[in-house]
């Protein structure tokens, strides 16, 4: 955890809290709001009607749009349930009057690869379901929104080595570097935990590494970046900001127990 990151963590409603921030004062937003799938949060009703949920989403996203700089990035992680598959798409379409959808990233939580020359390999967190209608849902979305759709990103910062090393010399754009764009499929598993209550005391957290990759993809000088998460939870985005050495992190959380946990994780004063 960076000792240089300034953490500004606030207990309260994010819509109210963001109104206190100046226009265009945030470089980067990485967040994962409630999905409206009936998750048992301690201080939030995750069972709104679709109309009310999208109207509320416009409220908080409107504040994100106001505080985000013209060259800023807004990474929005949302998932779905097999019985409610339209929600991520409805949310993205609802926000199209506020932002341009610049990239769509697929967060792969579990996958099986079947190479021709070897046996099948299964990796990741596979959450089984008992259903005669639906297949297992092994991914979520990360929508990358910007104000213009023309914001440069650091593709190589989250890149991967070439499988065929001859490509390094064959393709001029490599510059002799053994790294290529990762693309829009990111395999990021959950870390194994011994105790849910102690290690992940929140029903819907995303991995620190997912937020860390968003930070890297946005790029820029860490010493000049202010990052925000309107839905702080237990502070995984804050942890990623500290590990990246960003200048400042602002987070809002409505639940006192999650807020307290987040402060402890980043050792906020």
What is the side-by-side order of every strand in the sheet holding 139-146? Answer: 6-11, 248-253, 226-229, 26-31, 68-78, 139-146, 100-108, 185-187
Instruction: Tell me how far apart the alpha carbons of residues 200 and 220 are, in angstroms, rounded to a whole number.
Output: 30
CB 250 within 8 Å of CB 228: yes
Q: Residue 30 belongs to what H/E stretch? A: strand 26-31
User: Residue 67 has what pLDDT?
Assistant: 98
Q: Is the pLDDT of residue 1 over 70?
A: no
Kindly give the pairing relationship between strand 26-31 and strand 68-78. Answer: parallel
Comparing CA positions, the residue from 88, 101, 106 lying closest to residue 184 is 106
CA–centroid distance for 140 within its chain: 10
Mean of pLDDT values over 177-181: 86
Instruction: Tell me how far apart the alpha carbons of residues 63 and 237 are, in angstroms, rounded to a whole number.
Output: 19
CB 260 within 8 Å of CB 43: no
Comparing CA positions, the residue from 80, 41, 14 lying closest to residue 201 is 41
SS3 185: strand
Q: Quick one: pLDDT band at residue 50, thresholds 50, 70, 90?
A: confident
Instruction: Tell me how far apart the alpha carbons of residues 88 and 68 are, in angstroms, rounded to a whole number.
Output: 22
Mean of pLDDT values over 21-39: 87
| Lowest pLDDT segment from 71-85, 144-158, 247-261 | 71-85
In sequence order, which residues have a C-beta less than 8 Å from that of residue 99 and are 6 or more positions away?
61, 65, 74, 145, 146, 147
User: Residue 182 has what pLDDT?
Assistant: 94
Residue 160 is classified by DSSP as: B
More confident call, 163 vs 70: 70
Domains and CATH numbers, the chain: 23-221 (3.40.50.150)
Q: Residue 257 belongs to what H/E stretch? A: helix 256-266
Q: Quick one: pLDDT band at residue 196, thresholds 50, 70, 90?
A: very low
User: Residue 37 has what pLDDT?
Assistant: 59
Comparing CA positions, the residue from 47, 28, 49, 50 lying closest to residue 39 is 47
Residue 220 is classified by DSSP as: S
DSSP code per residue over 38-89: ----SS------HHHHHHHHHHHHHHHHHHEEEEEEEEEEE--BTTBTTHHH
Exposed/middle/buried for residue 149 (C-beta within 10 Å: 0-12, 13-18, 19+): exposed
Residue 239 is classified by DSSP as: H
Instruction: Tell me how far apart the alpha carbons of residues 235 and 212 are, in angstroms, rounded to a whole number.
Output: 13
Q: What does the mean pLDDT of the chain come to?
A: 88
Tens of pLDDT along 73-123? Answer: 999 999 887 778 899 999 999 999 999 999 999 999 999 999 888 899 898
């Amino acid at each position: 955890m960076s000792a240089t990151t300034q953490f500004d963590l606030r207990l309260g409603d994010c819509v109210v809290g963001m109104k206190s921030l100046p226009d265009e004062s945030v470089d980067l937003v990485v967040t994962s709001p409630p999905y409206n799938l009936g998750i048992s949060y301690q201080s939030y009703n995750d069972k709104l009607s679709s109309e009310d949920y999208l109207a509320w989403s416009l409220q908080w996203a409107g504040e994100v749009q106001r505080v985000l700089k013209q060259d800023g990035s807004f990474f929005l992680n949302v998932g779905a349930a097999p019985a409610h598959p339209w929600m991520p798409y409805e949310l993205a379409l609802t926000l199209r009057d506020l932002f341009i959808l610049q990239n769509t990233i697929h967060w792969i939580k579990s996958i099986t690869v079947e190479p021709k020359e070897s046996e099948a390999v299964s990796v990741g967190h596979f959450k089984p379901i008992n259903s005669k209608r639906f297949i297992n849902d092994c991914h979520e979305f990360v929508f990358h929104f910007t104000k213009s759709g023309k914001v440069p990103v650091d593709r190589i910062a989250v890149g991967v080595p070439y499988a065929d090393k001859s490509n390094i010399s064959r393709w001029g754009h490599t510059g002799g570097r053994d790294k290529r764009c990762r693309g829009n499929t990111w395999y990021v598993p959950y870390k194994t935990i011994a105790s849910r209550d102690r290690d992940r005391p929140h029903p819907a957290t995303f991995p620190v590494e997912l937020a860390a990759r968003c930070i890297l993809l946005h790029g820029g000088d860490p010493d000049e970046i202010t990052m925000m998460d309107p839905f702080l939870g237990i502070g995984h985005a804050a942890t990623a900001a500290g590990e990246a050495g960003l200048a400042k992190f602002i987070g809002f959380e409505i639940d006192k127990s999650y807020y307290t946990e987040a402060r402890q994780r980043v050792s906020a004063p």
